[in-house]
Amino acid sequence: MPALLSIVVPVHGVERFLPHCLDSILAGRQAQDFEVIAVDDLSPDGCGAILDEYAARDPRLRVLHLTENQGLGGARIAALPEVTGEYVWFVDSDDWLPEGALDAVLAELRTERAAEVPLDVLITGFNHVYPDDSTEPNPWRHLLAGSPLETPEGSTLRAHPSLLRTVLSVWNKVFRRAYLDDLGVAFGRGYYEDISVTYPALMAATRLRYLDLPCYNYRRGRPGAITATSSPKHADAFAQYNAIFAFLDRHPELADLRTLAFERTVKQALTVYDSPGLVPTELRGQFFGRIGEHFAAHRPDGYRFPGGVTGVQYRLAARGSRRGYDELRRAGRLLRRG
């Protein structure tokens, strides 16, 4: 019998965290309408053996062992032909689900079976968890809680555009599998591999809902995590942006959302550039130049820069004026200190 929910867990080099992740998903023996597809992405440690051990004990878990490392995006792509669920949830193997989270998500999906208009994406609340075990609730909750997205009827991105200001990672979004298939999008390679899926999925959805419960614990500050790693791979974001705008090119009915998506990608690229220690020093000039190229390639027709400091920053980025941008940022820091 097909599952209601398939949980896809890509696994690579997380032997220390993997048991916690699997235990948090498989803890409830009473729930049988979900499955877990774990992908051993040629992990160099003992992750493969851990997965096989868990699968031998619990038939709800199936394991794929890849013979070549594919990265997060490739591992998820490899898992998708194997899933049987009506919905799919992508959980990272160094994170974990809070107690009761899976039951809450399954309850929402069971209710959705009676809906006249299918739910395309269920967005969940989450926590950030830091190395000292301190937690931070979803910092974008104020944009979602109490909004039409939280009602049983749900809403759309067009009706609630501030949704695109929230986290755009894949892990707090549960997708209807048929909807995801029909989108014609794919996870990218390298860093920021999921935004080539999340942007299109949110923009094209007929019905979105928000579940105001912390259903995911996202581990921040882990050594090796991309948010804490200096790497040239941060420039992989531009390939994902190209995929997002290629999707919009194929869907002229979404043209009114193009400026919203464009400004969100520019903001993300500038945030990566501004974050200390992410883009290697010797590559910062090249990265900033890529932001200017992004402007030239994807700037919407008739685009008007926003007002205030943000507008000045965007104009400087569009011109490729790194010196002017850096000086503006430096002046802003001095003013804030003053």
- Asked if 125 and 114 touch (Cβ cutoff 8 Å), the reply is no
Q: What is the pLDDT of residues 67-125, one digit of tens each?
A: 999 999 999 999 999 999 999 999 999 999 999 999 999 999 999 999 999 999 999 99
Give the span between the Cα atoms of 245 and 252, in whole angstroms.
11
Rounded to two decimals, the pTM is: 0.94
Using alpha carbons only, how large is the chain's radius of gyration in Å? 20
Give the span between the Cα atoms of 15 and 27, in whole angstroms.
19
271: part of which helix (H) or strand (E)? helix 258-274
- From the centroid of its chain, how far is CA 29? 28
Give the span between the Cα atoms of 303 and 70, in whole angstroms.
38
- Asked if 130 and 220 touch (Cβ cutoff 8 Å), the reply is yes
- From the centroid of its chain, how far is CA 141? 16
Give the span between the Cα atoms of 221 and 227, in whole angstroms.
7
Q: What is the pLDDT of residues 110-160, one digit of tens each?
A: 999 999 999 999 999 999 999 999 999 999 999 999 999 999 999 999 999
Give the span between the Cα atoms of 287 and 301, in whole angstroms.
24
Within 13 Å, how many C-alpha atoms sit on residue 163's CB side?
31
- For the chain, list the domains and their CATH numbers: 5-228 (3.90.550.10), 232-337 (no CATH)
Q: What is the pLDDT of residues 217-266, one digit of tens each?
A: 999 877 666 667 899 999 999 999 999 999 999 999 999 999 999 999 99
